[in-house]
Amino acid sequence: MKVSVDKSSGFCWGVIRTIDIAEDELSSLPDGEKLYVLGDIIHNPMEIKRLAQKGLTTISHDDLEGLKSGKVLIRAHGEPPATYARAEGLGVELIDATCPVVWKVQERIRKFYDKGYQVVIYGKKDHAEVTGLVGQTNGEALVIKSIEEIESIDLSRKTVLFSQTTMDKPMFHKIKEELQRRIRELIVDSFEEQASEFHAKDTICGQVSGRDKKLREFARQHDIMIFVAGRNSSNGKVLYHICQEANPRTYFVEEESELQPQWFEGVESVGISGATSTPQWLMERIKKNIESVYAPSVSA
């Protein structure tokens, strides 16, 4: 049995940047001072646990008022303007580790909103990133994740469609095409030289969407696939389903304790891949576990 880790998997650069900022701050904290993060720093419980052991404390928005000292990290998902205003009012020092890709989407949404556009976001209403995006519009943006939900959109208004950065491209383009069929009037707009009343901004992260082809190729090369991700990872769910389409014998795990012996019966090759929030060290640890427990004769 051969066990291989997908070289294209693991942290995206935005997550790497956020983790690096957190670790740099933790290593330079004065004695007695603490570093907090507003919500789970990434959607991976194993990495959260590792950073917690280094001193990173996860808090909620409700905890802000009770802080007497320390710094608060804004995670890669970003936050709405209201969070920054509240922290300033409370005298809380923020360290902004928002992913630059997410920050750019926030900026673009704000510009279109200020110009009077109806903002529609393809995403999940309860996702942390989407909360930050909707916050750029004073809570007025519409969040949809299916063609059926288009009925909630005012088709008579000039509209701009954005996407949560970790959503899948095929559905984004289906929604875009359906809206283009329903909103047809042309206007001259100063933001773009000439445009229709409907604009579609494909703001899905290139590092996420770019994984599709490589992941499919990697999955087809192995008898079974072990996909490693946090169960709350939106990106993980998207990539897992892509992996499963390419290789039906794909199994989702958060850690090695979830591996099942029957998965490996008669298997000659195992591929391991993960989400953009899955740490490389965890996939390597799972690889070693498979080699030692389910393929003791393997030569790495």
Q: Which residues are catalytic?
A: 129
Measured CA to CA, the distance from residue 58 to residue 62 in angstroms comes to 12
Q: CB-based contacts of 179: which residues, under 8 Å, 6+ apart?
A: 120, 150, 153, 159, 161, 198, 200
Measured CA to CA, the distance from residue 135 to residue 49 in angstroms comes to 29
Measured CA to CA, the distance from residue 219 to residue 17 in angstroms comes to 28
Exposed, middle or buried: residue 48 (CB in 10 Å: 0-12, 13-18, 19+)? middle
Between helices 13-27 and 100-114, what is the axis angle to 10°?
110
**β-strands 35-38, 71-74 pairing:** parallel
Q: And the tokens for 244? A: 């499963």
Exposed, middle or buried: residue 297 (CB in 10 Å: 0-12, 13-18, 19+)? exposed
Measured CA to CA, the distance from residue 78 to residue 236 in angstroms comes to 18
Instruction: Look at residue 265 and give its three-state secondary structure.
Output: coil
What distances in angstroms separate CA 164 from CA 21, 82, 169, one per listed residue? Answer: 23, 19, 11
Q: CB-based contacts of 176: which residues, under 8 Å, 6+ apart?
A: 161, 200
Q: And the tokens for 91? A: 């005298």
